Amino acid sequence: MSEKERIALRAVAYISPQNYPMLVKSFGTKQEDELKYHYIAHTALDVIEERINSNPKAVECFLGMLYVLEDVAVYGYITPTRVKIVAAIDQTDEFIKDADIILLFKALHGAYHDALQDPFLQGPSSQGLRTEDLAQMMGRDDKWKGLRRLLDKVALAASRHIPTPSG
């Protein structure tokens, strides 16, 4: 095993407790790949719901690897407020430890938490999806500008080499 690992975050999606995407952000991808990551978010939601329903008393936030699609591994995380975070990570030949993925999700959860501290942020409606929310889902609305900026920092930090203990 190599002395260092890296996590290439391809996309992250935040899904509301009502099961619709609040934000889908991709990193370093072509415009035509945007639809692919929306598809991944929706497909991951099915797997997440299945895992939650199979063990409703589970208190673990990290849901592990949900599935692999083409060249990305899809991982899931659920916050105590039932917001689901889906990360699409570049599938490589190197082994990535769950502990490293958990750290990534904690950073993604922290970025979401920090973005919610913005007093001017108005999240999606609890009544369901509105037309204005579609712009948010596509990542073009300024409402989530702070979160997108934090996500860029998390993705950059994850892509740098992460030292691992020699074993």
Give the pLDDT confidence of 83-133 residue by residue, as tens digits. 999 999 988 767 788 888 999 999 999 888 888 777 766 555 444 444 444
Give the pLDDT confidence of 54-92 residue by residue, as tens digits. 877 777 899 999 999 888 999 999 999 899 999 999 887
pTM of the model: 0.77
4-162 is classed in which CATH architecture?
A: 2-Layer Sandwich (3.30)
Q: Is the dihedral of CA 65, 13, 150, 94 positive or negative?
A: positive
Phi, psi of 31 (to 5 degrees): -55, -40
Residue 42 and residue 32: Cα distance in Å, rounded?
A: 17
